Chains A and B, each alone.
Chain A
Amino acid sequence: MGDVGAAPALSFDGVSMVFPDGTHALRETTFEVRAGEFVTVVGPSGCGKSTLLRIASGLTHATSGTVHVEDRNVGYVFQDPTLLQWRTVQKNVELFAELEGVDKDERARRAAENIALVGLNGFETKYPKQLSGGMKMRCSLARSLVMDPQIFLFDEPFGALDEITREKLNDELLSLFQRKGFASLFITHSIYEAVFLSTRVLVMSARPGQIVGDFTVPFPYPRSPDLRFEPEFAELSGQVSHALRGAHV
């Protein structure tokens, strides 16, 4: 992964977004995510980070500029697990395959495989109300994995979790990333999470959002959880933090 010559899986070229109410969310945003890259966007809250993902997925259309997505099969993990309360874990994980018309046996097989992958085996028949916050997020992740997307969009998926659970899920996400090799565009407001996960960290300015910093993260995968305590890690985090503080002004 991290193949420098790879084609962009996702690219934004001069994308601006003005909402009907006049809110200027994005201004002339340009960047690309190449196949095998894990790109994270950090920025102050309300800077239009989520809008970026909504545009990339087609949920919202940009006011101007061009967005190119290599494959329409995009995985999208929201801030909330957005599980359907009336479906069991198994049926929730099957949802996207069901909506895409995958036949019954095949989607059951794929769901079982991905439930195992996120460590929810044994919980297939449980309902969302019986799961903890971290388990709901795992279920949400498995639901997207079922379609085996080549591009993954993550909108602060672990923002509502406690730190212990969040770090654990970070480690697991990286092992999935290595195994599957999907391109990722990850939104977070945690600098440490950004540096730990990514091959590249983009810093976004306050609204209207614009990319004001672009950091390459040199640490090779697999990354050990202890990477978080290395001096190089701290130094890079410091640089990102510095750029982020500049972005506030």
Chain B
Amino acid sequence: MSLQQAPVSGGMTDALVDIHPLSPDDAPRGAKKHRHWSDYVAPVIGFGGFIGFWYFMSYWGLKHIWDKPGFLITSPHRVVNESFVDDVSRKALFSGLYWTARVSVEGLIIAIVVGMALAILMSQARWLERSIWPYLVAMQAIPILALVPIIGSIFGFEIPSRIFVCVLISLFPIVSNTLFGLLSADVGQHDLFTLHHVSRWTRLVKLQLPNAMPTIFTGFRIAAGLSVIGAIVGEIFFKRGDKGVGILLDSYRSRAQFPQMYGALILAAALGIAVFIVFGWLNNLVVGRWYESTRKSG
């Protein structure tokens, strides 16, 4: 990166030391973002197209292309009316959203604490990494469905089991991203710390962890999305206790309440998107000022 910047500004800004100090305004900066009008219009066109396609499939497509009744794809306004305008459905759906969100956030927090602790442990010694890593990979490979009877027998068929599913499903990206970040600090930067005979703890806290922040946040973002999926999948198997979006989806399906089913789907998607946005925002807050992404944002 120094190679890229030097020709642009090196000669211009490097004034002689004692004569005139450099002006902060001369420092090179990332190019300012210019918003083109199409940046605003494109999403609107996209949304219009999406709704149009939805109506098209509902009133004509499903019937004439697949010879299936149109109500299987309920039209958008009916979905809104029967899911979100109707008092009973709305209450049920938003209560479901609350429980699903709560389960996925609790699972995510546990996964973050456990995952980061495991990654930090593994970063401290090669033998620890070699003894723990295979089990994480194995855990990743086992389908949740196969574990349902065991999880159910141990944690019961209520909320704790759903939280456990969230932890299982979101742990891996946190561990792998954190570990990768911790181990990827520059050799030269490590030398700086070695020269000053610092403790492992100092090296971890002042070099490895800050260096890992961008990849850790990427891991959080992936894990958060998975945790939402985990909460909904968990509800399909562990139905006792408070009803989340996944349970509602299943019961609307069994009662053929298609408008409400689409409503539940919309909420599930909205939750996933919200989580994604929140973690993107957190990432910008923590590392946005200093982190130089190789990809231009936009």
Q: Show the binding face of A for B, using Cβ within 8 Å.
A: 57-59, 74, 76, 78-82, 84-87, 95-96, 98-100, 116-123, 126-136, 138, 160-162, 164-165, 168-169, 171-172, 175
- Write out the residue numbers on chain B whose beta carbons fall within 8 Å of the beta carbon of A99: 193, 196, 198, 202, 206
Is B10's CB under 8 angstroms from A161's CB? yes
B184-228 interface code vs A (CB 8 A; 1 in, 0 out)? 001011011111101000100011001101000000000000000
- Does B2 belong to the interface (CB within 8 Å)? yes
Task: Give the residue of A119, A129, A161 whose beta carbon is less than 8 angstroms from that of B21.
Answer: A119
Is A165's CB under 8 angstroms from B210's CB? no
Is B192's CB under 8 angstroms from A95's CB? yes
- CA–CA, A169 to B15, complex, Å? 10
- Write out the residue numbers on chain A whose beta carbons fall within 8 Å of the beta carbon of B198: 99
- Does B36 belong to the interface (CB within 8 Å)? no
Given contacts A78-B191, A85-B291, 7 further A-B contacts (CB under 8 A): A59-B195, A132-B5, A132-B9, A133-B5, A160-B3, A161-B10, A164-B11
Is A162's CB under 8 angstroms from B24's CB? no
Most chain B Cβ neighbours within 10 Å, of A118, A120, A122: A122
- CA–CA, A127 to B23, complex, Å? 15
Minimum CB–CB distance from A242 to chain B (whole Å) comes to 32
- CA–CA, A116 to B20, complex, Å? 11
- CA–CA, A121 to B192, complex, Å? 24
Is B3's CB under 8 angstroms from A123's CB? no
Is A131's CB under 8 angstroms from B27's CB? yes
A59-B194, A82-B191, A129-B292 known; A134+B287 contact, CB < 8 A = no
- CA–CA, A151 to B60, complex, Å? 83
Across the A-B interface, the 9 shortest Cβ-Cβ residue pairs: A133-B6, A133-B2, A82-B188, A99-B196, A119-B17, A129-B292, A132-B9, A134-B14, A127-B290
- Does B7 belong to the interface (CB within 8 Å)? yes
Is B213's CB under 8 angstroms from A118's CB? no
Is B16's CB under 8 angstroms from A168's CB? yes
Q: Select from chain A the residue with minimum beta-carbon distance to B191.
A: A59
Is B11's CB under 8 angstroms from A130's CB? no
Most chain A Cβ neighbours within 10 Å, of B8, B10, B24, B195: B10
Minimum CB–CB distance from B215 to chain A (whole Å) comes to 13
Task: Give the residue of A79, A85, A130, A162 whose beta carbon is less than 8 angstroms from that of B27.
Answer: A130
Q: Select from chain B the residue with minimum beta-carbon distance to A101.
A: B196
- Does B273 belong to the interface (CB within 8 Å)? no
Is B17's CB under 8 angstroms from A127's CB? no
- Write out the residue numbers on chain A whose beta carbons fall within 8 Å of the beta carbon of B5: 131-133
A99-B198, A132-B5, A135-B22 known; A162+B11 contact, CB < 8 A = yes
Is B6's CB under 8 angstroms from A134's CB? yes
Task: Give the residue of A86, A132, A161 whose beta carbon is less than 8 angstroms from that of B28.
Answer: A132
- Does B145 belong to the interface (CB within 8 Å)? no
- Does B39 belong to the interface (CB within 8 Å)? no
Task: Give the residue of A85, A165, A175 whose beta carbon is less than 8 angstroms from that of B14.
Answer: A165
Is A165's CB under 8 angstroms from B22's CB? no
- CA–CA, A126 to B213, complex, Å? 19
- Write out the residue numbers on chain B whose beta carbons fall within 8 Å of the beta carbon of A84: 189, 207, 210-211
- Write out the residue numbers on chain A whose beta carbons fall within 8 Å of the beta carbon of B23: 122
Q: Select from chain A the residue with minimum beta-carbon distance to B193.
A: A99
Is B290's CB under 8 angstroms from A117's CB? no
- CA–CA, A76 to B189, complex, Å? 12
- CA–CA, A86 to B216, complex, Å? 14
- Does B289 belong to the interface (CB within 8 Å)? yes
Q: Select from chain B the residue with minimum beta-carbon distance to A169.
A: B14
Is A119's CB under 8 angstroms from B11's CB? no
- Write out the residue numbers on chain A whose beta carbons fall within 8 Å of the beta carbon of B3: 133, 160
Task: Give the residue of A82, A87, A161 whose beta carbon is less than 8 angstroms from that of B6.
Answer: A161
Q: Select from chain A the residue with minimum beta-carbon distance to B292.
A: A129
Is A86's CB under 8 angstroms from B27's CB? no
- Does B29 belong to the interface (CB within 8 Å)? yes
Is B6's CB under 8 angstroms from A160's CB? yes
Is B189's CB under 8 angstroms from A82's CB? yes
- CA–CA, A150 to B210, complex, Å? 31
**Sample (11) of A-B pairs whose CB atoms are under 8 Å apart:** A80-B2, A80-B188, A82-B186, A82-B189, A86-B291, A87-B290, A121-B21, A121-B22, A127-B290, A165-B6, A175-B17
- Write out the residue numbers on chain B whose beta carbons fall within 8 Å of the beta carbon of A134: 6, 10, 13-14
